[in-house]
Amino acid sequence: MNEPAKSTNQLDALDLRSKLAAGEIAALQLVEACLARIAAREPTVQAWTSLDFEAVRAEAREKDRVRDEGKPLGPLHGLPVGLKDVIDTVDMPTENGCPLDAERKPDRDAVMVQRLKDAGAIVMGKTVTTELAFMYPGKTRNPHNPAHTPGGSSSGSAAAVADGMIPLAVGTQTGGSVIRPAAFCGVTGLKPSFGRIPRSGVLMQSHTLDTIGVFASTPRGAALLVDVLSGPDDGDPATQGEKPLRLLNAPMAKNDPPRFAFTKPPGWAKADAGMRTSLEGFCKSLGARVTAIDLPDLFEEAAAQRLVINLTEMAHHFDRYWTADKDKLGPQTRDAINQGQQILASAYLHALEWRKKLNASLTPVWAEYDAILCPAAPGPAPTGLHSTGSSLFNGLWTLCGTPAMTLPVMTAENGLPMGVQIVGAVGEDCALVQAAEWLWNWAGKPTLG
């Protein structure tokens, strides 16, 4: 395998933040390490759509000046962050992976981008997305083996973090677009509860499902980024009533180790035999901390109901592309929009009821367990670039709106990473991160590279 070598900029985001604040490294030094890595590996990985090396260097020099003058530093001061190219940025194009949006230049930053800048982050550039954040693949390759997919739709964000090009990145998930590429590329991916991070200025595919997520090398690095991005926004009704998260500094809910429920979700038989064996062995090694359970029967219908919502709302939000020139869209995108146009209103309204039904059925589970353990993907990243892989084990949790995280704690026989998915109750993001951090430490703090 062509394993990427570990580099300075691949250190945990919290370690980098401390070193930057203490003056042990300069923002420009970190940025130069990132740019050198990008220059060396981008021809193979192809994670980026927009980069401006000189603009990034100038921003890093400004961050160093602020620190040298003793001014207050934001929680992400000097940390490079990559943005999926469905997130509006005023100073670089946002093309949504779509030829119909080629050279599109937004007139304002997305709300989350402004929060990143206010926190002192350095926006490194835009990372590759599949077309309109759906299933038509982009150019990105898996950094562990370029003959394999990196997953999607947040392919560039996952690959860039996994390859050490940047320590942090932002993506989106409507089915499995954060958790799956994180698993395939071997990084930590965190999808918070639905509505935690505002979507104003982000391409909308499904207002019921679209969720902002993040990529990092460790659970705490992911938590750091979510803390900055979270909180209410008048432009996104899904965030009403939300408060900024404090995942990093939240007091431990309890002193005892977390209790995990291991479950085989619908479709378990379709998973790779090696993944099933590895995950069962991983859970068995946790001993009494894990109990095998069955999901409620309602979950057998979750995938079909999520798809009804996704396709119906996709047909609505993407009608402008269909009308402008549907023949310029990829076949997967065209087919999905066409299917969505045929769905009856009664079927769509019925599907919308399932989030409450599924979460209500999980109430007994959360009364006894802190988190659910299940596959992050059916196996390691598949060979070939014609598909981004299956979101079979992700979409049900996106429909529920629960927080979910994947940790790269397993390895397939072919050397590619595999992820364990950890799922928490809706709104219990702090408890999920605490359980993930415990599991990360228990597994020996796996490292990239």
Q: Which residues have CB under 8 Å from 345's CB, separation 6+?
A: none
Instruction: Report pLDDT for 446.
Output: 64
Core vs surface per residue 17-56: b (16+ CB within 10 A) or e: bebbeeeebbbbbbbbbbbebbebbeeebbbbbbbeeeeb
8 — pLDDT class (breaks 50, 70, 90): low
Q: Is the pLDDT confidence value at 448 over 70?
A: no
Task: Report the pLDDT averaged over residues 413-417.
Answer: 97
Task: Report the pLDDT averaged over residues 77-90.
Answer: 98
User: Is the Cβ–Cβ distance between 149 and 161 less than 8 Å?
Assistant: no
pTM value is 0.97
Q: Which residues have CB under 8 Å from 365's CB, separation 6+?
A: 261, 293, 372
Residue 153 falls in the annotated catalytic set: yes
Domains and CATH numbers, the chain: 9-250 (3.90.1300.10), 299-355 (no CATH)
Instruction: Report pLDDT for 256.
Output: 87
Which amino acid appears at position 181 of this protein? P
Q: For every residue of 45-56, which 3-state class applies, written as one string? A: HCCEEEECHHHH
- Out of 63, 84, 126, 191, the active site residue is 84
- Out of 7, 63, 153, 157, the active site residue is 153
251 — pLDDT class (breaks 50, 70, 90): low
Pairing of strands 371-375, 290-293: unpaired
Tell me the C-alpha to C-alpha distance, in Å, between residue 248 and each of 223, 369, 371. Answer: 6, 21, 18
Q: How far apart are CA 167 and CA 164, in angstroms?
A: 7
Task: Report the pLDDT averaged over residues 135-153.
Answer: 98
In the sheet that 371-375 helps form, which strands lie side by side, from edge to edge?
A: 48-51, 122-127, 80-84, 168-173, 211-216, 188-191, 404-411, 417-423, 371-375, 260-263, 290-293
Among residues 447, 160, 302, 163, the alpha carbon closest in space to that of 171 is found at 160
Q: What is the pLDDT of residues 357-404, one digit of tens each?
A: 999 999 999 999 999 999 999 999 999 999 999 999 999 999 999 999
Task: Report the pLDDT averaged over residues 84-97.
Answer: 98
Rg, the chain, Cα only: 20
Q: How far apart are CA 280 and CA 268, in angstroms?
A: 12
Q: Tokens in use for 30?
A: 């970190």
Instruction: Report pLDDT for 1.
Output: 39
Q: How far apart are CA 84 and CA 160, in angstroms?
A: 11
DSSP assignment, residue 148?
B
Question: Which region among 118-122, 252-256, 346-350 has the lowest average model confidence (pLDDT)?
Answer: 252-256
User: Is the Cβ–Cβ distance between 208 and 191 less than 8 Å?
Assistant: no
Pairing of strands 404-411, 188-191: antiparallel
Instruction: Report pLDDT for 9.
Output: 59
Tell me the C-alpha to C-alpha distance, in Å, between residue 202 and each of 4, 148, 220, 265. Answer: 31, 28, 25, 30
6 — pLDDT class (breaks 50, 70, 90): very low
pLDDT, mean over the chain: 95
Q: What percent of the chain has pLDDT over 90?
A: 94
Strand partners, 81: 123, 168
4 — pLDDT class (breaks 50, 70, 90): very low
Half-sphere exposure at residue 375, Cβ-oriented, CA atoms within 13 angstroms: 30
Among residues 6, 8, 121, the alpha carbon closest in space to that of 66 is found at 121
Among residues 180, 200, 220, the alpha carbon closest in space to that of 417 is found at 180
Instruction: Report pLDDT for 252.
Output: 67
Q: What is the pLDDT of residues 221-236, one digit of tens each?
A: 999 999 999 999 999 9
Q: Helices then strands (H, E): number in the chain?
A: 16, 11
Instruction: Report pLDDT for 5.
Output: 38
- Going through 202-281 in order, the beta strands assigned E by DSSP cover 211-216, 260-263
| Direct distance between the N- and C-terminal alpha carbons of the chain, in angstroms, rounded to an integer | 12
Q: Is the pLDDT confidence value at 3 over 90?
A: no
DSSP assignment, residue 393?
T
Instruction: Report pLDDT for 378.
Output: 98
255 — pLDDT class (breaks 50, 70, 90): confident
Q: Is the pLDDT confidence value at 413 over 70?
A: yes
Number of neighbouring beta carbons within 10 Å of residue 249 = 9
Q: Is the pLDDT confidence value at 220 over 70?
A: yes
Residue 84 falls in the annotated catalytic set: yes
Question: Which region among 1-5, 57-61, 93-97, 284-288 has the lowest average model confidence (pLDDT)?
Answer: 1-5
- Out of 177, 193, 217, 278, the active site residue is 177
Q: What is the pLDDT of residues 317-355, one digit of tens each?
A: 999 999 999 999 999 999 999 999 999 999 999 999 999
Task: Report the pLDDT averaged over residues 116-126.
Answer: 98
Instruction: Report pLDDT for 7.
Output: 53
Which of helix, strand or coil describes residue 58?
A: helix
User: Is the Cβ–Cβ distance between 276 and 268 less than 8 Å?
Assistant: yes
Pairing of strands 371-375, 260-263: parallel
Q: Which residues have CB under 8 Å from 180's CB, separation 6+?
A: 151, 152, 376, 377, 388, 389, 390, 391, 394
